[in-house]
Amino acid sequence: MTKRFFKLIALLVICFQVQAQQSDSLFLEAAKIKKKYRLAPIKIEGANFTDKSVIALLSGLTEGEEISIPGDKITDAIKKLWKQGLFEDIQILQDKIEDGKIFLTMKVVERPRLTKFNFKGNVKKSDADELRTKIRLLKERVVTDYLIGTIKNTVRDHYLAKGYYFNKVDITQINDTGTKTPHTILTIKVTKGRKVRIGKVTFIGNTVVKSGKLRRNLDDTKQFRWYNPFNSGKYLEENLEKDLPAIAAKYNSKGYRDARVIKDSVYFISDNRVAIDIYVNEGHKFYFGNFKWFGNTKYRGGQLDTVLNIQAGDVYDQSKLEQKLYMNPNGYDVSSLYLDDGYLFFQAHEQESNVHNDTIDFDIMMYEGKQATINKVTIKGNDKTNDHVIYREIRTKPGQLFRRSDIIRTNRQLAQLGYFDPEKLNVIPTPNAADGTVDIEYIVEEKPSDQIELSGGWGGQTQYNSGGTARGLGIIGTLGLTFNNFSTRNIFKKEAWRPLPAGDGQRLSLRAQTNGIYYQSYNFSFTEPWLGGKKPNSLTVSAFHSLFNNTAEGKYIKVDGIKRINPARSSMSIIGGSIGLGRNLKWPDNYFSMYANVNYNYYELLKYPSFVFQTGFANDLNLGVTISRNSVDAPIYPKSGSNFVLSGQFTPPYSLLNGKNYSDPNLTDAQRYKFIEYQKYKITAEWFTQLTNKKAAEGSEARNLVLRTKIGYGFLARYKKETGFSPFERFYMGGSGISGFQNFVAREIIGLRGYVDNSVSSQTGDPIVARYTMELRYPISLNPSATIFILGFAEAGNSWSNYKQFNPFEVKRSAGLGLRVFLPMFGLLGIDYGWGFDQIPGGGNSNGNGKGQFHFTIGGTLGEL
């Protein structure tokens, strides 16, 4: 019985297992069969920040669409949502299936949002401000792993660029418990470490070029020297990689064509110093051989040889050959020969044809193409200056042959206007080889050009009262407004006042100076640079009034009821005006211009001690003529070009016409100086030479040393010896050229830094002056909104009371340092500290003899000859 029971149980178990296996098999087969359902509305849970309809849209699942279960649609939806980086967890669950519809629930866990962030560690405020701009973290931004990694890399690269080679960046997240939804606070901890500098740069294998000269060719890989404020000596691997090709280029310029850097080695010599070993292979010295020209039909080979100007036997220099062929910054080249004659499609390719011993022969393969004609000329970027103001400065006209020199000159003319950023000027020629034409587009960027001057200064001149007691002018206030891009034709258009009518290139200047009752000066000038609008003929009109006075009382007082001249008053009054015409010349070349003006000044003096005569009045009617040649490339920080000016100022020769005997001692001052006569000549020459040729990296400025040299002479002459030199228009030398007041046409103030204002000349001025200046300039910033450069200067000058004493080499010398800041609103401002090396007779210890003087200057040419 028992056996039969166990056999029955065993049989039931076996039957159950078989049935179970059959059921499992049927279930798996059913799961493999895809069934299609209509998608019902999706339920979304866990979304606090993100709009639920947006989540559904991003998933790609649409209500009512047909999906297969199983299928890829659900998997793809999860992948799409992961890509958004908004969620930490995503699940799509099946709720139920009814009437062929499938109901899904999408559960998401959102990533936290940013509440705020802060920096921790030795982070300077300036660095923090710069980093905030770079990482651009905004409140409520989703904090993802990618974002954290980006922040780390940005901060690390920031300090790496500053030389902190071992800087570390750690970012911690703290949950913000003050919010209902998940938020986090980021703390960016920076450990800068010590700055790694270059301790030593050693060259190995060089015998021809000394190591010191090779080091100077490394622009950004410099040995750290504490006494050099312009060199941080920081080590950056990318700087070294960028600088190494300059070593081979240095050798190439000396004929070593095959010279190269074999390898470099960087290693630490202390915790914060690295040494760099650079191994060079100099190779052999080569020389130029013969040149043969192929494909040239416009010019003969002999003509091209003359332009190339490289002789057989000259030391091989690849850069020199390329400059002579394509772009010579200091002169003519083969490319400009063709491009200035319309051959825009010209190409030249040099190739070595034969290398024998140490000599290399070249074949120059030419493709001349055909001459290109200018089709369209357009302007882009001017939102203030009217098109016609720019078009009249453009030298490339439709229908003309293309000339590269015209484009270069146009860029210079646009920079000289002062309305555009010279660093952003660009030209895009678009050639069309099919029809032999070219379209030219000039791109400009407006910059502020109007100026306001609101300043106070100390008047350095001295007045005297009737008792002979000196009275200083004291503090002088100045208010000046200069509108350099004014428009008179839009004055009556209400919409043009933004805040003033502008865009026609006219110049309007209003200026007032005063220290109250003792000194007042008012000046007005207006310039139309294109009179008539068709030719560059300028018209300038100006007027002014200046008054110098030593007393608060008026010129007249009443004594016993009778109006009399105030006996205590000492004063000088000047009223004047001028009208001038200028035009550009085409001969000897188109850099020349001429300006002629008629000036009238009326002087009234009352016991004024600073001139040859002290009481009376004088009339000064004169004609001024100026011929100049200006090829300077930029008005604020010139790098190249020159400026030559020859000017003359002439009054009528009254002494030759009026029959007066000027030798008569009985001739009064009123008779002698009623009509002032003189001849005045000035000649100045100025050069700008760029001494370095650093190229600007992307997003940075090209900062190069510039040498400015200038020489100037001034002479005041007379028609008859008996008349003596004019008491007006004399030269006063010394100081910064500013004596507290500027609208003083009775004298010409010439600066000489290192000496007290007007101390080099006599009290009544001198008829002869000479000045020599040399400045070495380096830009700190070339940004048009704040151009800043420093300078070191050496200058010399003197003035003489007569021609017998004149000796151009007998001068007072000085040297010093200076700073110039150009702000569009205020113009060029400067400060200099100069040492005068020579003693001024009767000047005491304050003038020269190695004594230092601070000088402040306003304007670019004030106080200069």
Q: Are 205 and 194 in contact (CB under 8 A)?
A: no
Q: Are 829 and 821 in contact (CB under 8 A)?
A: yes
Question: Of 94, 90, 93, which Cα lies nearest the Cα of 108?
Answer: 90
What is the rounded distance in angstroms from the CA atom of residue 570 to the CA atom of residue 734?
25
CATH number of the CATH domain containing 167: 3.10.20.310
Q: Are 273 and 196 in contact (CB under 8 A)?
A: yes
- The pLDDT, as a whole number, for residue 622 is 96
- The pLDDT, as a whole number, for residue 647 is 96
Q: Given the DSSP bridges, would you call strands 571-584 and 562-565 parallel, antiparallel or unpaired?
A: unpaired
What is the rounded distance in angstroms from the CA atom of residue 824 to the CA atom of residue 830?
14
Instruction: Respond yes or no on whether the N-terminal peptide bond of residue 499 is cis (omega within 30° of 0).
Output: yes
Angle between helices 245-252 and 318-325 (to 10 degrees): 80
Question: Of 625, 627, 631, which Cα lies nearest the Cα of 643?
Answer: 631
- Residue found under tokens 């100390």: 458
Secondary structure letter of residue 721 according to DSSP: G
3-class SS of residue 150: helix
Contacts of 856 (CB under 8 A, 6+ apart): 457, 736, 738, 829, 830, 831
Contacts of 387 (CB under 8 A, 6+ apart): 379
What is the rounded distance in angstroms from the CA atom of residue 476 to the CA atom of residue 460?
10
C-alpha dist (Å) from residue 21 to 12, 14, 16, 461: 14, 11, 9, 119
Report the run of H or E that residue 6 belongs to, with start and end: helix 2-31
What is the rounded distance in angstroms from the CA atom of residue 827 to the CA atom of residue 450?
9
Which of 321, 336, 367 terminates a domain? The answer is: 367
Alpha helices in 373-497 (DSSP H): 387-391, 404-417
Q: Is residue 531 part of a domain?
A: no
Contacts of 494 (CB under 8 A, 6+ apart): none
Q: Is residue 178 part of a domain?
A: yes
What is the rounded distance in angstroms from the CA atom of residue 802 to the CA atom of residue 415?
42
- The pLDDT, as a whole number, for residue 20 is 39
Question: Of 162, 39, 173, which Cα lies nearest the Cα of 97?
Answer: 39
Q: Is residue 96 part of a domain?
A: yes
Residue 312 shares a structural domain with residue 255:
no
Q: Are 478 and 453 in contact (CB under 8 A)?
A: yes
Domain range for 69 is 35-110
3-class SS of residue 836: strand
Residue 700 shares a structural domain with residue 800:
yes
746 CB neighbour count, 10 Å cutoff: 22
Instruction: Provide the CA 754 distance to its chain's centre, in angstroms.
Output: 29
pTM over 0.85: no
Question: Of 71, 92, 67, which Cα lies nearest the Cα of 81?
Answer: 92
Residue 648 shares a structural domain with residue 721:
yes
Residue 327 shares a structural domain with residue 358:
yes
Q: What is the mean pLDDT of each run of 10 residues along the chain (865 residues)?
A: 53 46 38 74 80 81 82 83 78 84 85 88 88 87 86 91 89 84 89 91 94 90 83 86 92 93 94 94 95 94 92 92 82 87 92 93 94 95 91 93 91 88 89 92 89 60 41 64 89 82 91 81 93 88 89 69 77 92 91 96 83 82 96 89 95 91 84 91 96 68 89 95 89 75 67 89 91 95 86 96 94 95 80 91 58 77 60
What is the rounded distance in angstroms from the CA atom of residue 838 to the CA atom of residue 812?
6
Residue 742 shares a structural domain with residue 616:
yes
Residue 663 shares a structural domain with residue 717:
yes
For 830-858, letters b (16+ CB in 10 Å) and e give bebebbbbbebeebeeebbeebebebebb
Q: Is residue 580 part of a domain?
A: no
Residue 55 shares a structural domain with residue 148:
no
C-alpha dist (Å) from residue 3 to 6, 10, 14, 15, 785: 5, 11, 17, 19, 110
Q: Is 770 exposed, middle or buried (0-12, 13-18, 19+ CB in 10 A)?
A: buried
What is the rounded distance in angstroms from the CA atom of residue 779 to the CA atom of residue 788?
6
Residue 129 shares a structural domain with residue 48:
no
Residue 319 shares a structural domain with residue 349:
yes
What is the rounded distance in angstroms from the CA atom of residue 387 to the CA atom of residue 380?
9
- 3-state SS string over 342-376? CCCCCEEEEEEEEEECCEEEEEEEEECCCCCEEEE
- The pLDDT, as a whole number, for residue 475 is 64
Q: Is residue 140 part of a domain?
A: yes
Residue 210 shares a structural domain with residue 274:
yes
3-class SS of residue 120: strand
CATH number of the CATH domain containing 802: 2.40.160
3-class SS of residue 593: strand
Q: Which structure tokens are listed for 550?
A: 């030593």
Residue 147's identity, in one-letter code, is L
Q: Is residue 561 part of a domain?
A: no
Q: Is residue 596 part of a domain?
A: no
- The pLDDT, as a whole number, for residue 645 is 96
Which of 410, 443, 476 terminates a domain? The answer is: 443
What is the rounded distance in angstroms from the CA atom of residue 131 to the CA atom of residue 330?
43
Number of domains composing the chain:
6
Which of 164, 191, 218 terminates a domain? The answer is: 191
Contacts of 170 (CB under 8 A, 6+ apart): 188, 189, 191
- The pLDDT, as a whole number, for residue 25 is 38
Q: Are 170 and 187 in contact (CB under 8 A)?
A: no
Residue 620 shares a structural domain with residue 741:
yes
For 475-493, letters b (16+ CB in 10 Å) and e give ebebebebbbbbbeebeee
Q: Given the DSSP bridges, would you call strands 592-606 and 616-630 parallel, antiparallel or unpaired?
A: antiparallel
What is the rounded distance in angstroms from the CA atom of residue 354 to the CA atom of residue 360?
6
Residue 710 shares a structural domain with residue 796:
yes
Q: Is residue 179 part of a domain?
A: yes
